[in-house]
Structure 1
Amino acid sequence: MVTGETGNEPAKGIPSRQESWKIRDSKHDVGRIAMKTPENSGLAIEKRSHRRIFWLLGGVGMLAVLLSGCSSTPRPPVAVDTQWLLSGVAIFGEPLEMEPLPEDDILGLQPEIKSYLAQIAPQASPQQRLTALLKAFENRDFIVEYHADRTLTASETYNQQVGNCMAFTVMMVAMARELGVEAYFNQVEVPPVWEEQEQEQTFVVYRHINMVSESSRGRRVVDFNLAAYDPVYDQYRISDMEAFAQFYSNRGLEWMRQGEMSKAFRYLSKALALRPKSSDLWANLGAFYSRNQRLDAAEQSYLQALQLNSGHALATSNLERLYRRQQRMDLADYYAAKAQYHRQHNPYYLYYQARNAYEHGDYKSAKKQLKRAIWQYKDDHRFHFLMGLTSFKMGELDDSREHFTAAFSLADNPGTQQAYNRKLEYLKNHLQ
């Protein structure tokens, strides 16, 4: 977890490690607390105004994300029966009794938690109380162990001391508000994580979320994962309702993985009741239907996602897979071409390809992809650092030095700079 100026679940298959999280705001460092967080690569971009970009998170089976527009001829719009999709008829054979929809006490705090918070610097200002709370966590060696599939309420997270970024943020927002702090949910456009449902060859999407509080002293961010957070990512405040919709969607997908399809459908329906115009939520409903072999309903859900966001890559990729399963090759090829266009015009997809080539010793291919990535977006320090490593391996020392310098100039996260220094020291010590 990190707090600082201005957050995704980790990629599937990335190992975990014990890591401390640091709390800081625009004025001072507040403290440090031991916390188990997932391993993640440095993910920062220079702190400056920049165009909004959408990217791919590297990982097995991951596909590129969102650059609107495609050279292919657009497919004519298809009518989508959203009422049918949300009735449950497609999977249960009859309309599912939906009332009442789930009403989880997401921000509720149990009396014992409130009693504990009441003792935290009761005479101090709200921001001072939040600082004291974080220091108290440190003194108690408070641990929240990362579990990607544990979307929990505030009280559940506190009591069980496990959860994902949504669970942790829910707990922190609830506790901060109890202390009198004006805290809100903050969505961070770090590379979105798609979890492949391997058996059904579909993807689901999660978004990264953290907590922000603002005061005269500056803007304080509280984030689960220090390695994944960088203050220059595109990020924006979201309402409680938007955050709750993500919460219910996450829980719905968790119920789906556990085989509890009725509960899963209710939670996904609750999410869409809160945010009916969210393309992410419709795409996740499509994954639910695909998982249950209701391909007509899955198709309709993905098409609804694309009607709301024509560049939604998850829906595009899942439609391609769905049509190939149905041997509808013309449509499959159409969506494959659309996805491929996005990939090849996405600097982060090119970076992923370059990283994969570098790890396999194909430095020529790595450099080719990195040149294309840097041409499209020059302000990501990771592109330059990998180009520096690649040029070093190819014996192009002047080029290597130039890109290492650019990488350190763009990376204003001290943790990232330290990681780069360790890597360079390792290379220096292992020169043949």
Structure 2
Amino acid sequence: MSCRSLMLLLLLGTALPYAQASAEMPAADTPPATFNGPMPSPDEVLAIPSGLSALLHARVIAPGNGREERLQRLAEMIFDRDGMDLQYDADATYTVAETWQYRRANCLSFTLLFVTLARESGIQARVQEVEQVVSWYQDAGALYSVGHVNAGIGINGREATVDLDRNVLYDRQGPRPISDARALAHFYNNRGAAQMEAGDVQGARAYLQASLRQADDFTAALNNLGVLESRQGHLSLAKAYYLRALQAAPRHVASLANASALLARLGEARQAARLQLRLQNVRQGDPFIQYGLGVQAERAGDADRAIRFYRRAIRLYGSAHQFHFALARAYVMSGNLPRADHELMRAQELGGTALQTRYQEKLDSLQRWRRQQASLRVH
């Protein structure tokens, strides 16, 4: 899952005063390294512990007013230092109770928490799923991710999205509402993947199978079970999981790559070649994959390759200001400053008001650098 900065994409109201909780806030516990305890049931994943329930009623529900005000107070309760003071942790796939206990969450845990508490507060809320995202971080650059969730809110006939990551670019389909069962499939799949990486084969298998009990066509869990069984040498079982994943999602990149490699290993060259061809076609037509290849080329110092990949990403998804910004960087690397100027201006046009200043600073910096270079050439 992709999400890094604790920032709401959209809040519908203005900041309002809230009532103080009557009970003193307990300190956060130290999170466990792995999920070795009993597997939580679906009801346990979403259960609100008594301490959090008391805080919710004191800070959000008891002051009254309308749903917009309650939504604002809920956000404040979750993020304020005298509330939960929730912090981001990429590995924190927690139940609602665990999120309260440890005060940490990734995008999935946050979404489950927010939707559960919003519903308890009388606010219409749902979990939403995005198949692909790209996120930009100030220090780490860009991260391409398959799979992301956030919260959808309905208030007074209006719709809003609440997301941990304010720098995320969704795929063209954008967030889509999903059932609670599918949201729980995400939870169990995340836990299964974490246990697999920790070397807990039995625990991983149990969690991934629990994911499929929530949604039997959940591609990520099917693919992860294929990986798990392949690592254990159960190649026929791994093949069955990969093919089930591709039946559910014929263009799923990870399953295509894994299945084609396994079939080649099993000597099924013709079927492996068919999947490889499909994989190549998917990659060629996916702007996010082309962008990711551009990032790799840029980091390797290959400006020409980066330009080719970024331009292809833009042909496939031309309204993404982030892609134009990446292409501008590649043009600077190649020494083509007029093209870099053009792409920066295009990024500024597409980025909207919130990003106007950022891109103008980049343009000003580039133009100052060009004047400095011209001055050096004159002398």
TM-score (norm 1): 0.69
- CA contact 2:8–2:165 (8 Å) conserved in 1: no
- Shift of residue 290 of structure 1? 1.7
Secondary structure in 2 matching 1:183 = strand
**2:198 matches 1:258:** yes
Counterpart of 1:245 in structure 2: which amino acid?
A: A
- Shift of residue 114 of structure 1? 0.9
The equivalent of 1:127 in structure 2 is 68
The equivalent of 1:78 in structure 2 is none
- CA contact 2:13–2:68 (8 Å) conserved in 1: no
Q: Report the CA distance shift for 1:294/1:285 in structure 2 as closer, same or farther (over 3 A).
A: same
- Shift of residue 382 of structure 1? 2.1
The equivalent of 2:53 in structure 1 is 114
- CA contact 1:185–1:210 (8 Å) conserved in 2: yes
The equivalent of 1:318 in structure 2 is 258
- CA contact 1:206–1:250 (8 Å) conserved in 2: no
- CA contact 2:287–2:313 (8 Å) conserved in 1: yes
Counterpart of 2:275 in structure 1: which amino acid?
A: Y
- CA contact 1:101–1:267 (8 Å) conserved in 2: no
Q: Report the CA distance shift for 1:239/1:353 in structure 2 as closer, same or farther (over 3 A).
A: same
Q: What runs of 5+ residues in structure 2 fail to find an aligned partner?
A: 18-38, 136-144, 374-379
- CA contact 1:25–1:218 (8 Å) conserved in 2: no
- CA contact 2:130–2:170 (8 Å) conserved in 1: no
The equivalent of 1:200 in structure 2 is none
Relative CO higher for 1 or 2, CA cutoff 8 Å, sep ≥ 6? 1
Please give the per-residue CA displacement for 1:252-304, whole angstroms capped at 9, x wherever unaligned. Answer: 22232333333322222222122113333322221221232211100011011
Which range moved further: 286-295 or 299-308? 286-295
Q: Report the CA distance shift for 1:243/1:142 in structure 2 as closer, same or farther (over 3 A).
A: same
**2:2 matches 1:9:** yes
**2:206 matches 1:298:** no
- CA contact 2:344–2:359 (8 Å) conserved in 1: no
How far apart, CA to CA, are the structure 2 residues paired with 1:104 and 1:262? 22
**2:60 matches 1:138:** no
- Shift of residue 354 of structure 1? 2.6
Counterpart of 1:134 in structure 2: which amino acid?
A: A
How far apart, CA to CA, are the structure 1 residues paired with 2:134 and 2:341? 31
How far apart, CA to CA, are the structure 2 residues paired with 1:392 and 1:218? 43
Which range moved further: 266-275 or 293-302? 266-275
How far apart, CA to CA, are the structure 2 residues paired with 1:381 and 1:304? 36
- Shift of residue 243 of structure 1? 0.6
- CA contact 1:343–1:349 (8 Å) conserved in 2: yes
Please give the per-residue CA displacement for 1:202-238, whole angstroms capped at 9, x wherever unaligned. Answer: xxx8621111211127333221222226697611111
- Shift of residue 28 of structure 1? 5.3
- Shift of residue 318 of structure 1? 0.5
Please give the per-residue CA displacement for 1:120-145, whole angstroms capped at 9, x wherever unaligned. Answer: 25122233122123234425274333
The equivalent of 1:190 in structure 2 is 132
- CA contact 1:101–1:270 (8 Å) conserved in 2: no
How far apart, CA to CA, are the structure 1 residues paired with 2:50 and 2:155? 28
- CA contact 1:186–1:211 (8 Å) conserved in 2: yes
Q: Report the CA distance shift for 1:29/1:372 in structure 2 as closer, same or farther (over 3 A).
A: farther
- CA contact 1:148–1:164 (8 Å) conserved in 2: yes
Q: Superposed, which structure 2 residues align to 1:296-375 within 5 Å?
A: 296-326=236-266, 328-375=268-315
- CA contact 2:189–2:220 (8 Å) conserved in 1: no
- CA contact 1:153–1:167 (8 Å) conserved in 2: yes
Q: Report the CA distance shift for 1:9/1:173 in structure 2 as closer, same or farther (over 3 A).
A: same
- CA contact 1:354–1:366 (8 Å) conserved in 2: yes
Secondary structure in 1 matching 2:59 = coil
How far apart, CA to CA, are the structure 2 residues paired with 1:102 and 1:409? 48
- Shift of residue 151 of structure 1? 1.4
Secondary structure in 2 matching 1:105 = helix
How far apart, CA to CA, are the structure 1 residues paired with 2:367 and 2:131? 35
The equivalent of 1:287 in structure 2 is 227
Q: Report the CA distance shift for 1:373/1:263 in structure 2 as closer, same or farther (over 3 A).
A: closer
TM-score (norm 2): 0.77
- Shift of residue 417 of structure 1? 4.5
Secondary structure in 2 matching 1:119 = helix
| Greater fraction of residues in helix | 2
Counterpart of 1:138 in structure 2: which amino acid?
A: D
Q: Superposed, which structure 2 residues align to 1:114-263 within 5 Å?
A: 114-121=53-60, 122=62, 123-136=64-77, 137-140=79-82, 142-191=84-133, 207-216=147-156, 218-228=158-168, 234-263=174-203
How far apart, CA to CA, are the structure 2 residues paired with 1:185 and 1:372? 32
**2:316 matches 1:411:** no
Secondary structure in 2 matching 1:177 = helix
Q: Report the CA distance shift for 1:356/1:255 in structure 2 as closer, same or farther (over 3 A).
A: closer
- CA contact 1:102–1:267 (8 Å) conserved in 2: no
- Shift of residue 26 of structure 1? 5.2
Please give the per-residue CA displacement for 1:41-90, whole angstroms capped at 9, x wherever unaligned. Answer: xxxxxxxxxxxxxxxxxxxxxxxxxxxxxxxxxxxxxxxxxxxxxxxxxx
- CA contact 1:210–1:223 (8 Å) conserved in 2: yes
